[in-house]
Each structure stands twice: as structure tokens, then as C-alpha cells.
């Protein structure tokens, strides 16, 4: 989806960079992910959360909460499967899902809080 205006430009770039960083870190770092990189992902998630416009809140929350729930459930199942069978692909996918959680949870929290404060101020 193309960006129609410049109001979301910082958020769009933070989101794109965060997704790419989360996937690359999940692929190559595995369980040895640096806390600094996880902090960068969390900060990018905060930037994304603050940049979501009020007209896109419902769509963003629906998509991000769905992704967080599915990622967490998938990560738990893959970790258990990898531990039982010793499959390395399960560990890689679980690591990618874990880094995506680090990106999306702060964004979903910020957008949720913004929505609650918006509703409370009406």
C-alpha cells in the first residue's frame, strides 16, 4: 500500500526497518539475540505505535493483536516441537516470531493507550 501523505512517513520507515531487522535477527541470531538489538526493536515499536493515525487505530489494533496472539501461540508450539524432535527450523521460526513480538507488543500497547485516553477525554 503506497504512502499517500507524509504524515506517516517516519512510522512507515520505522515499521519497515523493524520488520526487516526482526526477521534478519531471528534468522541469524537465534537464542543469542543481543539486548541492544531487542531494545532497538522495542523503540521502533514505540515509534510505530505513536505514528498510527486516529483513523487507522481499529485496523492496526486488530492486525497487531492478531499477530501477537498467533506469534505467541506459534512460538510456544514450535519451541515445544523443536525440543522434542530437535528440529532446527522450528527454533529459527520461533526466534523470528519472538523478535516480531518485541516489535509489535510496544506498538500495540501505545495504540491501545492512545485509544483509551481518546475515549476517556470525550
Buried/exposed code over 50-89 (b: 16+ C-beta within 10 A; e: otherwise): ebbeeeeeeebbeebeebbeebeebbeebbebbeeeeeee
1, part of any domain: no
pTM beyond cutoff 0.85: no
Residue 24: inside a domain: yes
List pLDDT tens digits, range 81-114: 655 666 667 778 888 888 999 999 999 999 999 9
Does residue 2 fall inside a structural domain?
A: no
Is residue 57 within 8 Å of 113, Cβ to Cβ?
no
Domain count across the chain = 1
Report whether pLDDT(69) > 80: yes
CA distance linking residue 50 with residue 72, whole number of Å: 23
Q: Considering the domain boundaries, does residue 4 fall inside one?
A: no
Domain holding 50, by residue range, is 9-120
HEC string of 43-69 equals HHHHHHHHHCCHHHHHHHHHHHHHHHH
Classify residue 3: in a domain, yes or no. no
Amino acid at each position: 500500500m503506497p504512502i499517500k501523505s507524509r504524515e506517516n512517513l517516519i512510522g512507515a520507515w520505522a515499521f519497515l526497518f523493524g520488520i526487516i531487522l526482526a526477521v534478519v535477527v531471528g534468522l541469524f541470531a537465534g537464542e543469542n539475540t543481543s539486548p541492544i538489538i531487542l531494545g532497538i526493536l522495542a523503540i521502533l515499536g514505540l515509534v510505530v505505535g505513536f505514528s498510527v493515525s486516529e483513523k487507522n487505530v481499529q485496523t492496526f489494533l486488530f492486525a497487531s493483536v492478531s499477530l501477537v496472539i498467533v506469534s505467541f501461540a506459534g512460538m510456544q508450539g514450535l519451541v515445544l516441537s523443536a525440543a522434542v524432535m530437535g528440529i532446527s527450523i522450528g527454533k529459527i521460526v520461533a526466534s523470528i516470531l519472538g523478535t516480531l513480538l518485541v516489535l509489535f507488543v510496544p506498538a500495540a500497547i501505545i495504540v491501545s493507550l492512545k485509544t483509551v485516553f481518546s475515549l476517556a477525554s470525550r
